[in-house]
Structure 1
Amino acid sequence: MNDDPLIIDGAALASRFFLGTAGYPSPAALAEAIEASGTQLITLGLKRTLQAGDNGALALALDAAQARGARLLPNTAGCRSAHEAVALACMARELYGTHWIKLEVVGDELTLQPDPFELLAAATELVKLGFTVFPYCTEDLVLCRRLLDEAGCAVLMPWGAPIGSGQGLAHPRALRTLRERLPEATLVVDAGLGAPSQAAQALEMGIDAVLLNTAVAKAREPVRMAAAFRDAIVAGRAAWRAGLIATQDFAVASTPVSGHAFLLGDAA
């Protein structure tokens, strides 16, 4: 039994690993990766699915998620305005029967950085419409506060680095500031992670969960990589709960000897 579930909107999630479903080499690899990850939450790009016109991978993903009791988190990837994102979220709710939505409103084509103004407007509207909103945002503290306090978002999803870049936590100090200044908020690092060690780092600093896609989907062995991220996330969370020692600018002897008698050699 998991004694440390993640509670979101009254739901208890046994895993702190949220997994994307795009770009896998085959539907079978996707299903196996979902199983290996232990995830309780998978994301799905509605616009990508509709444009692709092939629901085979989607059906397999949904079956795999349902088999392990995971929830579906549709997202508004590809949207450029609040109006477009709200319309797509409403469509996703009708299609998949969930009021949970990952909100993405992109403002820059090169970095795929979220548009903070359109994001806040869309989040505010969606919460009024009864959605539980997971906004993909930057680590900007003021924006995050407004998403929580003004819009009423249940979760914050600051990026680690640009989507698919594999850079890891580009601004760890900013993420630590978010954790310190928003101690009650549920924080999920979303995007930019490339290695399990980077996911562990996020959990070690008190981030509640991570969401990733490319690092697993594009790995040489996606299923093995999904398991590696699963274990790293568990280890990072356990380390945070256990209490990491404070970093120091100087050496601190693990076995102090000052003031204690000790032998230099065998007694005569």
Structure 2
Amino acid sequence: MTIQNLNIKDKKLKIHNKEFNSRLMLGTGKFKTLFDMQDSIKFSQTEIVTVAIRRLNSEQLLKKSNLITSLDWNKLWLLPNTAGAKTAEEAIRLACLGRELTKKIGQKENNFVKLEVISDPKYLLPDPIGTIKAAKFLVQKGFCVLPYICPDPMLAKHLEDIGCATVMPFGSPIGSGQGIQNILNLKIIIENSKIPVIIDAGIATASEAAFAMELGADGVLVNTAIAQSQKPKQMAIAMQLGVQGGRFSYLSGRIPSTKFANASSPVQGTKFLYL
């Protein structure tokens, strides 16, 4: 069941010049088996799958069954990511390799790259200076840049001004499962942004995915919460439903929060029957 099936008026998720029905993106790391990954992608109904270029060495690509050959790229859009890059220069090199890969799988117009520059080994916090440096170069080279960032409203605005296609602030640090933490900053980013805002990292449950969408985010990216769950396929379905539920709620318009109770049944103008 999708928004389109229910005839609920909503725009498709548009990133650069590409439109998507699903607002859930999936990562491909940490799955116990290749089959778990395939099933999770299928049942999540995602259309965007992100792959770490650093993980795809030449030997892996020559294998009959690998991460790339096991997926149907006629139905999925590859989002190469620069995970593992500690500097802007490393990220740029990986982005170029990623663009080459998109052409090899037949997506000739795919210039997407999820930009990650992470020099902090303990908390895996993205480097804002390295991210801006790499983003500026890649945008000039014709890449559609989706930068992974801390929930910093000013950084998000600078990246938008540079020409990035989205901003991807984290809910909480990668793989931490802490959920949506810096709510105020995320709200500011969403309010000020003229490009899609994708909440990336930290989400552990379907309710947290729903909450991210209720804030007004344009989508979420989930990996560890599905890959490391006891039942990945089932969790993938839950995330898909959570994202749709959160989007439905956001589009419906929540009631305002009040200090005092407000009776749902009217008192004035009613007649009571006393026995």
Query: Could you say whether these structures have the same fold, taking a TM-score greater than 0.5 normalized by the shorter chain as the test?
Result: yes
Distance in 1 (CA, whole Å) between partners of 2:119 and 2:151 is 15
- 2:183 maps to 172
The answer to whether the aligner puts 1:90 opposite 2:96 as a matched pair is yes
Give the secondary-structure state (helix, strand or coil) at the position aligned to 2:67: helix
Structure 1, unmatched stretches of 5+, are none
Quick one: distance in 2 between partners of 1:88 and 1:189? 23
* SS of corresponding position for 1:136: strand
Q: Residue 59 of structure 1: SS of its match in structure 2?
A: coil
Q: Percent identity?
A: 38
Alignment of 1:14-163 (within 5 A): 14-50=21-57, 53=60, 56-63=65-72, 66=73, 69-97=75-103, 98-149=110-161, 151-163=162-174
Letter in 2 for 1:248: T
Q: TM-score normalized by structure 1?
A: 0.92
Summarize deviations over 1:127-184 as a string: whole Å, max 9, x none: 00000000000111110110001x21010000000000111101112111112222x2
Q: Per-residue deviation at 1:192?
A: 0.5
Structure 2 Cα separation of the partners of residues 17 and 60 of structure 1: 22
Equivalences, count: 260
Hey, what's the Cα distance between the residues in 2 that align with 1:188 and 1:223? 22
Tell me how far 1:42 sits from its aligned partner. 0.2
Match of 2:269 among 245, 260, 264: 260
- 1:106 deviates by 0.5
2:266 and 2:59 map into 1 onto residues whose CA distance is 64
CA positional deviation for 1:8: 1.1
Cα deviation code 1:29-60 (max 9, x no counterpart): 11111100000100000102229846533135
Q: Is the 8 A contact 2:22 2:47 kept in 1?
A: yes
With structure 2 as the length reference, what TM-score do the two structures score?
A: 0.90
**Mapped pair 1:5 → 2:16:** no
Moved more, 188-197 or 49-58: 49-58
1:236 maps to amino acid: G
Conserved? CA contact 2:153–2:186, under 8 Å: no
Specify which structure has the higher proportion of helix. 1
Q: For the aligned residues, what is the CA RMSD?
A: 1.7
Question: Which 5+ residue runs of structure 2 have no aligned equivalent?
Answer: 5-9, 104-109
Give, in angstroms, the shift of residue 24 of structure 1: 1.1
Change (3 A) 1:261 1:95: closer
Structure 2: which amino acid aligns with 1:204? E
2:199 aligned counterpart, secondary structure: strand
- Greater mean deviation of Cα atoms: 42-51 or 112-121: 42-51
Q: Deviations over 1:70-117 (max 9, x none)?
A: 200000000011111001101111122231000000031111000000
